[in-house]
Amino acid sequence: MNSIRSYLISVVTGSLASLSIVGVASADVSPPQIEETERLRDTISVTVYRPDLFCETLLPETVDVPTTAPLEGAVGHILKDWAQGEFRIAGYRTARDNATGTVTIDLRVAPDAPRQWTALSTCEQFALFGSLRTTLMQNTALQTNDVLFTSQGEALEF
């Protein structure tokens, strides 16, 4: 994560430096406050839950997700933490049963990940499944009564 952040900072810094060398005098850019207002209009705030350092409880954090796909936005905020390391989530799909309010999250582990589902510690299970379940069920805007987990269509039971 830090290497990506460092790379992005160096690219942006280098791009800005090259702009000043070329001598770009001005650019047509919307004022930041207008962009921020437009961004907020197209999002809603939800609370996502992530584990504390000791894996004992889930801590709330408010994030903005797209109004057009709040469920996927909330799930994506949690799963971005699982995109690297020895156990990596390579993708996911969500499905909602509107009659029952049950959401099924189908998770896919990266095929080249050294660790698979059976290698998850109790803490990792709590961090992944507890975070997703609590996030979806505690946000009334997401209208979720239950959360089921599958991997390529097969039920995940821990």
Q: Where are the alpha helices (DSSP H) in 66-146?
A: 70-79, 122-125, 131-138
In this structure, is residue 23 part of a structural domain?
Answer: no
In this structure, is residue 51 part of a structural domain?
Answer: yes
Q: Residue 105 is encoded by which pair of tokens?
A: 């999250």
In this structure, is residue 14 part of a structural domain?
Answer: no
In this structure, is residue 1 part of a structural domain?
Answer: no
Give the rounded percent of residues in the chain with a pLDDT score beyond 70: 75
Number of domains in the chain: 1
Q: Mean pLDDT for the chain?
A: 82
Task: Render pLDDT for 18-60 as a digit per residue (tens, 0 to 9).
Answer: 434 343 433 344 445 545 545 557 999 999 999 999 999 999 9
- Residue numbers of the domain that contains 146: 34-155
Tell me how far apart the alpha carbons of residues 47 and 8 are, in angstroms, rounded to a whole number.
28
Cα pseudo-dihedral 64, 65, 67, 69, rounded to 10: -170
Indicate whether this model's pTM tops 0.85: no
pLDDT reported for residue 35: 55
